[in-house]
Amino acid sequence: MYAVKVANTQTIEISNETMGNPEKRLVIPSYLLWSFDKSKVCPIRMYKTIIEQVLERGSIKDIAEIIRFYGIDKVQNVALNVRVLNPKRVNLLSLIWDIPIEQFKAWNTRDWEKIYGGFLDKRNSPC
């Protein structure tokens, strides 16, 4: 059973009550899950949503936190398969993880143009 605690108006702390293991504690800014009822957040059932929200809107520190909590393999798998992700963030993740940008599903779909206004044309991108 996971307990969700809004530590203050700035952060959400999700911890495993039964294990009491500090490694199974996720602390992220509350604005990343602004559209969800914080008391009903389940890090196991909602892992894709949480990872997507952090990858899209979180800082590097927040990304490091979800990697620590979920593991690099799970976070990379979600990042590679998400349909819409800011193209600048895709570039960053590609560089950090040394994964070819073409492997990111978000890079290969044109859905990001609808959301981000086509400010980045991938055909003319230096990456």
Sign of CA dihedral 11, 22, 69, 16: negative
The pLDDT tens digits along the chain (127 residues) read: 454 555 445 566 665 554 455 556 777 787 777 777 767 777 788 889 889 989 988 899 999 999 988 999 999 999 999 988 888 889 899 999 999 988 999 887 766 566 655 555 555 554 4
Q: Closest Cα partner for 11 from 23, 21, 25?
A: 25
DSSP single-letter state for residue 4: E
Give pTM, 2 decimals: 0.71
Quote the pLDDT of residue 28: 79
d(CA 106, CA 80): 7
